Chains A and B, each alone.
Chain A
C-alpha cells in the first residue's frame, strides 16, 4: 500500500503543479487578480504532496520492501540504515524524485516567505516554477515510475554499489540537487522578470539569496564529491575532469558568474541583460548536468539510444526548457534597458571580466565534456578528452581570473584609476613576485601552472583581506566579510592544489610483515595482516604504524574489503592527517611470495583543497545571511517610518 500511496501523492502533486501553472497563465492573460490569490496555497500543497511522495519512497527502502522494483535493484535487507536511506536516491528514478521534491519544497518556501516582490512577478515566478516541474512529473510518471511493483517478489535485493556505501556519497547528491534547484528558482525569477518586464534592483535583490544559497550548496557538493573520490577510490586523486565531475562543475561556474553579476544589478542597476542570460545558462547547466549523469549517455552514446523512450523524453525536456528560455530571452532582451554605466577600470569592469572569463571556462568545460559524445555519435571514431586538455585550456584563464579577483574588491564603483589601484595592491603584488622568486630558486622541476598558482595564492591570500583596510571592523557589513572569506578560500584551495600537484611523494612497495618503508620524513612499518568483518563485508586489514620524524607513533589500518552482495572488492585507504599534509596508505593484493602491495603517498598541504572549499561555502553563507538580515531590517525601518506618518 505504501508504494501506491506514494504514487497517488505524486500524481496529486503533479496535478497541483498543473493547477499552479494554469492559475498563473489564466490570471496573466485575463488580468484578473483573483487567480493570483490561490497560487500561494497551491504551491504549498504541491510542496507538501511531493515531499510526502519522496518520504514514502525512503520508507520503502528503510523497510526493504522487496515487492518494489526499485528497492530490489538498489538495496539489500542486511545493510546499515543510513545506506538503505541513501539507496533511495542512489539511482535514476529515486534521484529524479528527489530533484522534484526539493523543487516542490522550494516552491512552497517562495509561497510562504517571499513578501517583497511585486505580486505579478511573484505569480509569474511560481508559474515558471510549476512549468518546469510539470516536465519532471511527466518524466517520472510516464517514463520512470519509482513505485513500480515487481512480481514474483524476490527473496532479497541486489544491493547498492559498495563504492556508494559511504557517508560522503550518501549526502553528496542531495547537496548538489539543492544547489541545482536553487538555480531553477533563480531561473524562474528571471522568467518572471522577463515576462512582466520588471528587470531591476528589486528583482535582483529577491533573486540573490537563492543564487547565493544554491551556490553554497553546489560548492559544498563539489568539495564533498572531490574528497569522496580522493579517499574512497584509493588512488589519491582529487579531480579527474571526469564528465560526472564536470557536470557538477558547469552549474557552479555559471552560478559563480551569476552571483557576481546579480550584485552589480542589485547595487548599481547595471548588467541587466547579462544577469538574465546567466540565470538562463545556470539553470540549463544544472538540467544538462542532471541528465548527463542520470541518463547513462556518458557510458556510451549508443547505450543511451537503446532506451529510446527515456532518451527521447530527456532530449525533448531539455529542448523545451532550454530552447524556450533562450527564445524568451532573445525576445525580451531588446526591451531590457542597459542600466547604469561605468568605465572599464571600475568595480563593474572587474566583475564583467569575472563574468566573461568564467563563461569562457564554462564554454571550454562544456565543449570538452560533450565533444567525445558528439564525435562518437557522428562517426565510428572514439576520442577521450581529459586532464591534459582541460588543464591546458582552462588553467591559464583561471589564473588570470583569480588575479582579477584580488584586484576587483579594491576598485571603486563606476570609475577608478589604474594608478590608484596599483597603490592599493602593491603589497600583494610584491608578495606574489617574492613567492615566485623563492619558488624558482628553492624548488626543482615545478611545472608552470602550479608554480604560478602557488605564487599568486600568496598575493591573493593577503589581497582578499585588503577591503578591510582602514575600515571600522565592527561596522563592516556581514556580506563583505562573506566575500573576504570566500576569496581567501580560493587562495587556500589554490595552495592545496598546487602543493599536491608538485610536491606529492609516491612509493609503491611489495612488503612482508616487519618491513620498514621510508617516505619523505615518514617511517612506516608494516606490522601484520589480519582478517576483519563488518555488517555486510569482510576484509583483510593491514596493521601499519607510521611516525613523522620524531613525533608520536600512529597506528593505521588500510583495508581490502569484499562485499557479499555485489562480489566486489574495494580498498579502504588509511589516512593520517597532520597540519602540513596527509599520509595516504592503501593495501593492494598479495603476490606468490606472500608479499603485500602497499601504495603510500605523502601529500603536503593536500587538505587545504577542501578547507578552501569549505571556506568558500562559508563565505557564501555569511553573504546570504548578511543580505537577508539587512533586507528584513530595511523592511522594518520602512514599516516604522510609514507607521510614524
Chain B
C-alpha cells in the first residue's frame, strides 16, 4: 500500500518535474541587445498588467508569470513584431484585462469621452461665470 501511494505521489509529481525541465524564460531578466528594441519592449511592458498581481505592470513585478510575459514580449519584439502586434496578441489570449491602455470600443467609449466632456463642462462653467459677472457689472453701472 505504501509503495502504491509512493507511486501515485511520484506520478503526480511528474508534471511539476516536467515544468521545471522546460527552458526558463530567457528574457525575463535580460535586456535586448538593440537599445531601440529594448526601449520599445520596455514601454510596452509598462502598459501590460501582471495577471497574477494586484495592480502591477509586468515591468515591475516579481511574479514568475510576469517574467514569462516579459520574455515573450522581448522575444517577439526582437523577432521584428511591432509593440501593437504584441499587444493585440496578448489581448487575444488574456482579454482586454491585460492592457493598461484600454482599447477604444463600445465598452470603453464613455471612459475615453469623459475627459473631453469634463473639459467642455469646465469651459462652459467658466464662461458662464465670467459672462454673468460682466452682465452684473453692466447692471451696476
Measured CB to CB, the residues of A under 8 A from B are 233-237, 240, 242-244, 298-299, 341-344, 349, 352-353, 356-357, 359-360, 363-364, 367-368, 371, 375, 379, 381-389, 393-394, 397, 506-508, 510, 569, 571, 588, 591, 597, 599
At the interface, yes or no: B11 with Cβ under 8 Å from chain A? no
**Chain A positions within 8 Å of B121 at CB level:** 360
- Interface range on chain B: under 10, 10 to 19, 20 to 34, or 35 or more? 35 or more
With A383-B97, A384-B99, A507-B31 as given contacts, are A353 and B126 in contact (CB-CB < 8 Å)?
Answer: yes
A382→B96 CA distance, assembly (Å):
7
- Other-chain residue from B47, B96, B115, B130 in contact with A387 (beta carbon distance below 8 A): B47
Q: Do B100 and A375 touch across chains, with their CB atoms under 8 A apart?
A: no
- Other-chain residue from A243, A384, A393, A571 in contact with B100 (beta carbon distance below 8 A): A384
User: What distance in Å separates the Cβ of B97 from its nearest Cβ neighbour in chain A?
Assistant: 4
Q: Mark contacts of B99-130 with chain A using CB atoms, 8 A cut-off: 1 yes-contact digit, 0 otherwise.
A: 11110000110110011001101110110011
A298→B56 CA distance, assembly (Å):
13
Q: Do A363 and B114 touch across chains, with their CB atoms under 8 A apart?
A: yes
Q: Do B62 and A243 touch across chains, with their CB atoms under 8 A apart?
A: no
User: What distance in Å separates the Cβ of A626 from its nearest Cβ neighbour in chain B?
Assistant: 29
Besides A368-B111, A383-B108, A384-B98, 8 more A-B contacts (Cβ < 8 Å) are A240-B55, A357-B122, A364-B114, A364-B115, A382-B96, A388-B47, A389-B101, A591-B24
Q: Do A386 and B118 touch across chains, with their CB atoms under 8 A apart?
A: no
**Chain B positions within 8 Å of A379 at CB level:** 107
Q: Mark contacts of B41-72 with chain A using CB atoms, 8 A cut-off: 1 yes-contact digit, 0 otherwise.
A: 01000110100001111011110000000000
Q: Do B125 and A235 touch across chains, with their CB atoms under 8 A apart?
A: no
With A240-B55, A353-B126 as given contacts, are A386 and B107 in contact (CB-CB < 8 Å)?
Answer: no
At the interface, yes or no: B15 with Cβ under 8 Å from chain A? no
With A381-B96, A384-B99, A385-B111 as given contacts, are A299 and B118 in contact (CB-CB < 8 Å)?
Answer: no
A234→B59 CA distance, assembly (Å):
11
**Chain A positions within 8 Å of B134 at CB level:** 343
B70 nearest CB neighbor, chain A only: A508
Measured CB to CB, the residues of B under 8 A from A are 24, 29-31, 42, 46-47, 49, 54-57, 59-62, 95-102, 107-108, 110-111, 114-115, 118-119, 121-123, 125-126, 129-130, 133-134, 136-137
Q: Do A510 and B115 touch across chains, with their CB atoms under 8 A apart?
A: no
**Chain A positions within 8 Å of B61 at CB level:** 235
User: What distance in Å separates the Cβ of A227 from its nearest Cβ neighbour in chain B?
Assistant: 15
A371→B119 CA distance, assembly (Å):
18
A379→B105 CA distance, assembly (Å):
15
User: What distance in Å separates the Cβ of B139 from its nearest Cβ neighbour in chain A?
Assistant: 10
User: What distance in Å separates the Cβ of B114 from its nearest Cβ neighbour in chain A?
Assistant: 5
With A383-B97, A385-B111 as given contacts, are A397 and B119 in contact (CB-CB < 8 Å)?
Answer: yes
A506→B41 CA distance, assembly (Å):
13
Q: Do A360 and B29 touch across chains, with their CB atoms under 8 A apart?
A: no
- Other-chain residue from A342, A389, A394, A397 in contact with B111 (beta carbon distance below 8 A): A389
A240→B49 CA distance, assembly (Å):
11
User: What distance in Å separates the Cβ of A389 from its nearest Cβ neighbour in chain B?
Assistant: 6
Q: Do A299 and B54 touch across chains, with their CB atoms under 8 A apart?
A: yes
With A363-B118, A367-B114 as given contacts, are A381 and B56 in contact (CB-CB < 8 Å)?
Answer: no
A573→B49 CA distance, assembly (Å):
23
Q: Do A506 and B42 touch across chains, with their CB atoms under 8 A apart?
A: yes
With A367-B111, A384-B96 as given contacts, are A389 and B60 in contact (CB-CB < 8 Å)?
Answer: no
**Chain B positions within 8 Å of A237 at CB level:** 60
Can you name 6 A-B residue pairings with CB atoms under 8 Å?
Answer: A234-B62, A356-B125, A364-B115, A375-B107, A383-B107, A591-B24
Q: Do B111 and A384 touch across chains, with their CB atoms under 8 A apart?
A: no
- Other-chain residue from A244, A368, A384, A508 in contact with B30 (beta carbon distance below 8 A): A508
A28→B114 CA distance, assembly (Å):
43
- A-B pairs with the 8 shortest C-beta distances? A386-B100, A235-B60, A388-B101, A356-B122, A242-B55, A393-B115, A382-B97, A363-B118
Q: Do B118 and A364 touch across chains, with their CB atoms under 8 A apart?
A: yes
Q: Do A386 and B57 touch across chains, with their CB atoms under 8 A apart?
A: yes
A353→B123 CA distance, assembly (Å):
9
**Chain B positions within 8 Å of A234 at CB level:** 62
**Chain A positions within 8 Å of B101 at CB level:** 386, 388-389
User: What distance in Å separates the Cβ of B61 from its nearest Cβ neighbour in chain A?
Assistant: 8
Q: Do B99 and A356 touch across chains, with their CB atoms under 8 A apart?
A: no
B136 nearest CB neighbor, chain A only: A341
Q: Do A360 and B97 touch across chains, with their CB atoms under 8 A apart?
A: no
Q: Do B111 and A588 touch across chains, with their CB atoms under 8 A apart?
A: no
Q: Do B29 and A385 touch across chains, with their CB atoms under 8 A apart?
A: no
Q: Do B96 and A599 touch across chains, with their CB atoms under 8 A apart?
A: no
A298→B54 CA distance, assembly (Å):
9
Q: Do B125 and A385 touch across chains, with their CB atoms under 8 A apart?
A: no
With A349-B130, A352-B126 as given contacts, are A385 and B100 in contact (CB-CB < 8 Å)?
Answer: yes
A236→B60 CA distance, assembly (Å):
8
User: What distance in Å separates the Cβ of B69 from its nearest Cβ neighbour in chain A?
Assistant: 14
Q: Do B114 and A344 touch across chains, with their CB atoms under 8 A apart?
A: no
User: What distance in Å separates the Cβ of A480 from its nearest Cβ neighbour in chain B?
Assistant: 26
A50→B24 CA distance, assembly (Å):
55
A393→B29 CA distance, assembly (Å):
32
User: What distance in Å separates the Cβ of A420 from its nearest Cβ neighbour in chain B?
Assistant: 19
**Chain B positions within 8 Å of A233 at CB level:** 60
With A379-B107, A385-B102 as given contacts, are A597 and B133 in contact (CB-CB < 8 Å)?
Answer: no
- Other-chain residue from B30, B49, B107 in contact with A510 (beta carbon distance below 8 A): B30
A383→B103 CA distance, assembly (Å):
9
A243→B123 CA distance, assembly (Å):
28
Q: Do B111 and A352 touch across chains, with their CB atoms under 8 A apart?
A: no
With A383-B96, A384-B100, A388-B47 as given contacts, are A343 and B29 in contact (CB-CB < 8 Å)?
Answer: no
A386→B107 CA distance, assembly (Å):
16
Q: Do B29 and A508 touch across chains, with their CB atoms under 8 A apart?
A: yes
Q: Do A386 and B137 touch across chains, with their CB atoms under 8 A apart?
A: no
User: What distance in Å separates the Cβ of A206 from its nearest Cβ neighbour in chain B?
Assistant: 26
User: What distance in Å separates the Cβ of B43 from its nearest Cβ neighbour in chain A?
Assistant: 9
A508→B97 CA distance, assembly (Å):
28
Which one of B30, B95, B102 has the highest number of Cβ atoms from chain A below 10 Å of its Cβ? B102
Q: Do B49 and A571 touch across chains, with their CB atoms under 8 A apart?
A: no
A356 nearest CB neighbor, chain B only: B122
A568→B108 CA distance, assembly (Å):
37
With A359-B122, A389-B102, A508-B31 as given contacts, are A240 and B56 in contact (CB-CB < 8 Å)?
Answer: yes
